[in-house]
Structure 1
């Protein structure tokens, strides 16, 4: 495997309209990416490609490539793809059984389910789930009912769930959306620990705000109108000119003590 992700001239259309247009993007081993852009820029569609939720359009004359971990999108069983690409989204809490326990919510991912049924789990599976809850500082919640959690706690549970299958890519779709400042900082500290772990999967995080980028993220992609405007090492992408172009507003971007900020 050369690249974790290799997109070349990739487009996605819906009802005849381009949602993504001629996207070039590559993720190499050891890189962690943040994807930024305004609402409607195409960020969610881009990461949905990674998980097989949408597929690119292949036109006869197009020399496009859309590979994730050597799987050719559009020619791969989605079930196979989702065993190697984990997804945690702040928009998907409703998919899980609110009456199940935290531990069951995590381990059920091993069978591709959203609720634990009669399937049996090995002790090593339960221990891995518990270890992940510990890394995310929520081990004490393992026997709590999912519906009783705060939004920040629930989001960390879903990240543990996405990691329990040992994916090679972990996609985080707006993981801090709706969190208060304390819950956001706890989550960002956990993500920093994961990002700095050499055994961790490649991370791809979608966000609207540079303030929500944890230390340990190495690369950034800026999107606008369904296109990737700029992509590369994070310090060379999160510049005043490039971020201002992306959001259509004069912005000053600053890095201090490992954390980014931006203001008009």
Structure 2
């Protein structure tokens, strides 16, 4: 049974931006998700954690209106999947895909501006307005890449690309930001720059909600407010982050004794010392 914090009832009353209710996803007779529920309110920043194959990316695809549940309901911004044009719905979401398929040497500014049309390349039929240009500059500055605004995409580091893609996702001013393992492949400096940028972004935009998927607690920004733990497609725990990211629950989620600590708002996880055999 899932452990829940006090946020569940409040989420029901306050009309969540994202609401998955008793969701199953079945593919080829196999459950990828089983009876998973989640409610995300404005201003909340959720982490979804679990081992490889736990169902994290499958859940994010539902929340991003990319796929539909086999059973259960998913409401995104009050609209139920299956009863709404998902293409229109996706325009209200900022979905950050670290495997962005761009190959041409667009500048950082040009890549960010493609967020207006949600296209890979600029739309030759549309020129950005003065307001859109100003918004792009503000996001580029917030994400700490103003000095790279004229740099081609093809020569950016992986960490710089991650921050560019977050700025791009925020161009339409979405109410929700979905991040699929944004720190994957980053070195220590790039990871810390990315997490600092996310903390700053959340501070500047208190109405924004986000869901970040990872399997490393060290990749969570200090501004994370809630967490959901998945194991084999089932919810182990969900609720306020300090109630969920505990040694007991994380060890249960990963089926391994793990000691959790938090310092200056950030988490670390280490394998718990085993008692030596006598």
TM-score band (shorter)? over 0.9
Superposed, 1:74-153 pairs within 5 Å as: 74-90=82-98, 92-93=99-100, 95-118=101-124, 119-153=126-160
1:12 pairs with 2:25? yes
Post-superposition offset of 1:199: 3.9
1:69 aligns to what? 77
Change (3 A) 1:192 1:226: same
For 2:175 and 2:20, the matched residues in 1 are separated by 17
Specify every segment of 5 or more residues in structure 1 that has no aligned partner in the other structure, as ranges.
59-63
For 1:167 and 1:217, the matched residues in 2 are separated by 18
TM-score normalised by the chain length of structure 1: 0.94
1:55 pairs with 2:68? yes
Q: Is the contact made by 1:56 and 1:74 (CA closer than 8 Å) also made in structure 2?
A: no
Specify every segment of 5 or more residues in structure 2 that has no aligned partner in the other structure, as ranges.
1-13, 272-278
Give the number of equivalent residue pairs. 257
For 1:195 and 1:220, the matched residues in 2 are separated by 16
For 1:259 and 1:199, the matched residues in 2 are separated by 20
2:268 aligns to what? 261
1:193 pairs with 2:206? no
RMSD: 1.3
1:25 aligns to what? 38
Runs of 4+ in structure 1 off by over 6 angstroms are: none
Post-superposition offset of 1:65: 2.5
For 1:45 and 1:8, the matched residues in 2 are separated by 15
1:219 aligns to what? 226
1:209 aligns to what? 216
Post-superposition offset of 1:195: 2.2
TM-score normalised by the chain length of structure 2: 0.89
For 1:181 and 1:98, the matched residues in 2 are separated by 28
